[in-house]
Amino acid sequence: MHPDKHVVGLAIVKDFSSYLVRNDRGFLQQMFYLLVYLHMSNANNTNWPKLDYHYLKDTIATVHMWTQMIGKVRLKKMPWINHSWQVTLYVSATGLTTGSIPYNGGVFQIDLDFINHQLHITTSTAEKISSALGAETIAAFYTELLDNLKAAGVDVEIYAVPNEVDPAIPFAENTTPCIYNADAMHTIWQALIRIHNVFTDFRAGFLGKCSPVHFFWGAFDLAVTRFSGRPAPKHPGGAPNIPVEVMQEAYSHEVSSCGFWPGSEQFPQPAFYSYCYPTPDDYGKQQVSPPDAFYSTEMGEYFLTYEVVQQSADPEGVLMQFLQSTYDAAAKTGNWDKALESDLQGLKE
């Protein structure tokens, strides 16, 4: 869950522009090295797909609303778990999934399949209902989802209004056409797989309380969060269409969180972010890696564009630098216990 992702674009543009002005010579040097990386990546790096926001944005807007509906089904049927972890989706071998949801002595799950481009509802009583992705409108998808759940034997009523978006048009009243480009969504999902794997490696280096690597449908971002173990000041809230009590529970304890977000009209570039709550005064003054990462004073977060990672000779290594160095910034300025970090990989040998 991210509190203010809907306004991140304007803040990033402002801070990134000032970054370039202050670092003109260094920026030109970085552009030279980036050109070298581009040449190397064309020959050696074919695993991380390019993400063009303008090509992807209509599909993202459609699938965002679909994930909100599916996530709200999970919210309705799951017991409340700390920090709203019960509502999230997960990257799967075929797309995005709810995982197992308890129901009537069994379980069911909902999957968005970005290989065959279908919606699947599967139950532990051997029911499976599938339908093609491509409803005419948001309202039509909402009706189809509820009808399919009922056909699978799942009775559920959700709060059918989206969260963390403005305006928040009720699903049943949203006649916006569904624009679904199968190739575009497959590309986004392929990027999420690679990001998920790096986030999982990063998560493995922490002994303390840590979230799963999970997909928050409110802001349409993939995230993983570490906890210091100490309580945090009460969060002021502020995300559109989210009760302040939910935000306060989500940020009830000190966190260092990182994630991936696909961009917006204000900042049309997919990007990685990292922030901590509460935010120490000198957090944004720490040196982080790679050099292309920058700090937004308005957002109180570090950012690194996906393009920098994708075009590098070592995308996994560059992303891990960003995750680790921004965590180090939070741990140093927040006085986190160093014993929370540990490498357990030797146990595999």
pLDDT tens readout for residues 64-97: 999 999 999 999 999 999 999 999 999 999 999 9
Which of 18, 53, 15, 17 has the alpha carbon at shortest distance from 299?
Answer: 15
pTM of the model: 0.87
Q: What is the DSSP string of 274-312?
A: EEEES--TTGGGS--SSTT-EEETTTTEEEEEHHHHHHS
Which of 173, 191, 223 is the last residue in one of the domains?
173
pLDDT for res 347: 87
State whether 167 and 198 are in the same domain: no
State whether 220 and 238 are in the same domain: yes
Rounded-to-integer distance, Cα 85 and Cα 80, Å: 8
Which of 134, 152, 173 is the last residue in one of the domains?
173
pLDDT for res 181: 97
State whether 48 and 74 are in the same domain: no
**The one-letter amino acid at 322:** F
Range of the domain at 194: 5-52+182-336
Q: How many CA atoms lie within 13 A of 300 on its CB side?
A: 14
Q: What angle do CA 152, 175, 268 make, to 5 degrees?
A: 100
> Is residue 88 one of the residues assigned to a domain?
yes
Which of 173, 200, 232 is the last residue in one of the domains?
173
Which tens digits make up the pLDDT trace of 256-298?
999 999 999 999 999 999 999 999 999 999 999 999 999 999 9
pLDDT for res 134: 87
Which residue is it, tokens 């961009």?
A: 263
> Is residue 342 one of the residues assigned to a domain?
no
Which of 127, 126, 97 has the alpha carbon at shortest distance from 114?
Answer: 97
| Run of H or E including 214 | strand 214-216
State whether 189 and 287 are in the same domain: yes
State whether 255 and 150 are in the same domain: no
**The one-letter amino acid at 145:** L
131 pairs with which residues across the strands? 119
Write out the two tokens for 316: 């996994």
State whether 241 and 96 are in the same domain: no
State whether 324 and 193 are in the same domain: yes
3-state secondary structure 34-90: HHHHHHHHHHHCCCCCCCCHHHHHHHHHHHHHHHHHHHHHHHHHCCCCHHHHHHCEE
Number of domains in the chain: 2
State whether 14 and 147 are in the same domain: no
> Is residue 344 one of the residues assigned to a domain?
no
pLDDT for res 349: 78
Rounded-to-integer distance, Cα 154 and Cα 168, Å: 26
Burial profile 260-285: b = 16 or more Cβ within 10 angstroms, e = fewer: bbbbbeebebbbbbbbbbeeeeebbe
> Is residue 345 one of the residues assigned to a domain?
no
> Is residue 276 one of the residues assigned to a domain?
yes
> Is residue 166 one of the residues assigned to a domain?
yes
State whether 186 and 148 are in the same domain: no
pLDDT for res 297: 95
Rounded-to-integer distance, Cα 56 and Cα 109, Å: 27
Pairing of strands 90-91, 106-113: unpaired
pLDDT for res 132: 97
pLDDT less than 70: residues of the chain: 1-46
State whether 108 and 158 are in the same domain: yes
State whether 169 and 236 are in the same domain: no
> Is residue 113 one of the residues assigned to a domain?
yes
> Is residue 346 one of the residues assigned to a domain?
no
Q: How many CA atoms lie within 13 A of 293 on its CB side?
A: 25
pLDDT for res 2: 57
Show Cβ contacts of residue 21 under 8 Å, excluding neighbours closer than 6 positions: none
3-state secondary structure 98-124: CCCEEECCEEEEEEEECCCCEEEEEEC
CB 119 within 8 A of CB 112: yes
State whether 214 and 319 are in the same domain: yes
**The one-letter amino acid at 332:** K
